[in-house]
């Protein structure tokens, strides 16, 4: 292998190494930003009285409350419709 070929090969490897170092720095920056955002979100949860480590449980409880509220609303609307039915006729 000629000296010029070796030099070109070395130059290519150095460029790849430098690109990888830049990529590592960029990824490290993204990771740090993501960690800071996660910390902020965890603090928001704590501020709202939710343990961020038990977020799945909180979501489940809130979903159950939501479903129960919608079911209650449906029941009350149905009862109201039935109560009004004799007075409104079939136009509704």
Q: How confident is the model at residue 70 (pLDDT cuts 50, 70, 90)?
A: very high
Q: Is the entire prediction scored with pTM above 0.75?
A: no
**Percent over 90 (pLDDT), the chain:** 87
pLDDT of residue 91: 58
Residue 62 lies in a domain: yes
DSSP codes joined into one string, 35-70: HHHHHHHHHHHHHTT--GGGHHHHHHHHHHHHHHHH
Please check whether residues 18 and 60 belong to one and the same domain: no
33 and 59 co-located in one domain: no
Sorted by sequence, the CB contacts under 8 Å of residue 55 that are 6+ apart come out as: 45
Question: Rounded mean pLDDT of 7-32?
Answer: 97
88 confidence band (pLDDT: 50, 70, 90): confident
In the Cβ-directed half-sphere of 79, how many Cα atoms lie within 13 Å? 6
The verdict on residue 91 lying in a domain is no
Q: With respect to residue 90, please indicate whether it lies within any of the assigned structural domains.
A: no
Instruction: Determine, yes or no, domain membership for 12.
Output: yes
Residues 19 and 3 in one domain: yes
Is 92 among the domain residues? Answer: no
Number of structural domains (the chain) is 2
What tokens appear for 54 in the block?
């038990």
Residues 8 and 36 in one domain: yes
Class of residue 52 by CB neighbours under 10 A (exposed 0-12, middle 13-18, buried 19+): middle
Domain of residue 67: give its range: 51-85
């Amino acid at each position: 292998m000629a000296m010029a070929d070796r030099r070109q090969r070395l130059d290519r490897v150095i460029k790849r190494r430098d690109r990888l170092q830049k990529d590592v720095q960029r990824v490290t920056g993204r990771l740090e930003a993501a960690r800071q955002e996660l910390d902020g979100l965890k603090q928001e949860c704590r501020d709202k009285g939710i343990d961020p480590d038990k977020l799945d449980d909180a979501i489940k409880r809130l979903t159950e409350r939501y479903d129960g509220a919608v079911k209650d609303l449906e029941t009350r609307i149905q009862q109201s419709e039935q109560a009004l039915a004799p007075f409104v006729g079939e136009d509704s």
